[in-house]
Structure 1
Amino acid sequence: MRAVLSGNMGSGVGMQRVLLSERLRIPSIALGGAVRAAVDADTEPGRRFRAVADRGEPVDDTLLVDILAAHLVRDDTRDGFLLDDVPASVDRAWLLDQRLDHAGIPLDTVVALDVPLEILIRRYADSPDAGARRARIEAHARCMRPVLDYYRNRARDGRLRYRVVSGLGSTEQVYARILDALR
């Protein structure tokens, strides 16, 4: 399985990723981890990333996607992988699809955990940084909506499975719903 598990801050998506990665025996991979690995291994894309970051410039989508795609074709992902959330823009999602399709390992599943924003915001209402958390939750939702729409449209074309799973309930209940959606 080559999948993405998406969810907003406070949705429990991190715990679900750990459980799924262990159950499916596939690595959970985040863009940040792929970038660190490329920089640490002193790969050509890693050197390009370091140069851009050292200059304090924004990193080009193509470079980020190239780093992630190179990470996803390694031996440890031969049996699949679980991406740590969807790419941050439709452009990145499209680029990643192009790279993975070209490598013969297209994404086959996207699972989106659905937790209403009001509930996510309420979970942090008493925290000292409640305002900042609210802003991040709302920004993530705005950013992810078009990307999830992109994957929903790909599913209509039959190119992947797209599932929305309620993220409400206990960790075990949500995990069971995700497993059901993957069957």
Structure 2
Amino acid sequence: MNLILLGAPGAGKGTQAVRIAEKYGIPHISTGDIFRKNIKEQTPIGVTAKSYIDKGQLVPDEVTVEIVRLRLMEDDAKNGYLLDGFPRNLAQAEALDKIANIDTVINIDVDLGALSDRLTGRRVCSKCGESYHVSTKKDEDCDKCGGKLMHRDDDKPETVANRLNVYTASTAPLIDYYEKQGKLVTVNGMNKIEEVFKEITEALK
């Protein structure tokens, strides 16, 4: 079972990815993780990727595609995998079709206005990383460890707006692309975590 997981920042992709990987016994392949691993191990492709990242530039599609291709050749991906964070655009999707046979693309659909509120209202403990939301957490102390809660830079309104705009511009064509291939399954990401997961597993039957 070769799967792709699509969803805007804050849509709960990470949470669902872990559950899907566990249930179906397939590796959760996050492009961010592969990049970090290759850079840490100083592989040839990792060194190339780092040269762009260090300059604050986007890693070119061909480098990203190659790093994913190498990961898909590893033994644990022989019986299937879940791709998270890839493809990010149409060029990557077309390149992926040349190196892999994707069975299903799961799109976690969320209302972007509600998503913006969810992200901008998020507060994170500076000590243990526990996450809270201002709608339910009125004081500024972590319930777990007593640390101070902070508003992360990437959860500031202007940053959130930018991240969502970038996502919408690059991913809307992907949804259309996979819909035309008959591979797209859309689930309601505004539901509770358990309900979203149930919807995903029903779609994969």
Q: What range is the shorter-chain TM-score in?
A: 0.7 to 0.9
The unaligned stretches of length 5 or more in structure 2 are: 123-150
Per the TM alignment, residue 48 of structure 1 is displaced from its structure 2 partner at its CA by 3.1
5 Å-filtered alignment, 1:117-128, equals: 117-126=112-121, 128=151
The unaligned stretches of length 5 or more in structure 1 are: 101-105, 156-160
Q: Which moved more, 1:67-76 or 1:123-132?
A: 123-132
1:13-61 per-residue CA deviation (whole Å, 9 max, x = no partner) reads 1111111111111111111222233334444323433445456654321
Of residues 173, 178, 200 in structure 2, which corresponds to 1:146? Answer: 173
Residues 1:89 and 2:84 are matched in the alignment = no
Per the TM alignment, residue 8 of structure 1 is displaced from its structure 2 partner at its CA by 0.9
* In 1: Cα distance, 2:65 partner to 2:24 partner: 24
TM-score with structure 1 length normalisation? 0.84
* Larger of the two Rg values belongs to structure: 2
* In 1: Cα distance, 2:68 partner to 2:108 partner: 22
* In 1: Cα distance, 2:13 partner to 2:6 partner: 7
After superposition, the Cα gap between the structure-2 partners of 1:41 and 1:126, relative to the gap in structure 1 and judged at 3 Å, is closer
Residues 1:74 and 2:74 are matched in the alignment = yes
* In 1: Cα distance, 2:118 partner to 2:47 partner: 40
Aligned length: 173
- Secondary structure of the residue aligned to 1:26 is coil
Residues 1:132 and 2:159 are matched in the alignment = yes
Per the TM alignment, residue 98 of structure 1 is displaced from its structure 2 partner at its CA by 1.0
Q: Which moved more, 1:107-116 or 1:138-147?
A: 138-147
Per the TM alignment, residue 166 of structure 1 is displaced from its structure 2 partner at its CA by 0.9
* In 2: Cα distance, 1:166 partner to 1:55 partner: 38
Per the TM alignment, residue 148 of structure 1 is displaced from its structure 2 partner at its CA by 1.7
* In 2: Cα distance, 1:15 partner to 1:58 partner: 26
Partner residue in 2 for 1:32: 32
1:115-141 per-residue CA deviation (whole Å, 9 max, x = no partner) reads 111111122344551232132123212
TM-score with structure 2 length normalisation? 0.76
After superposition, the Cα gap between the structure-2 partners of 1:60 and 1:124, relative to the gap in structure 1 and judged at 3 Å, is closer
Per the TM alignment, residue 163 of structure 1 is displaced from its structure 2 partner at its CA by 0.5
* In 2: Cα distance, 1:10 partner to 1:38 partner: 26
Partner residue in 2 for 1:10: 10
Q: Which amino acid aligns with 1:110?
A: V
TM-align CA RMSD: 2.0
* In 1: Cα distance, 2:121 partner to 2:56 partner: 35
* In 2: Cα distance, 1:56 partner to 1:135 partner: 17
Structure number with higher helix proportion: 1
After superposition, the Cα gap between the structure-2 partners of 1:152 and 1:26, relative to the gap in structure 1 and judged at 3 Å, is same
* In 2: Cα distance, 1:94 partner to 1:88 partner: 11
Q: Which amino acid aligns with 2:168?
A: A
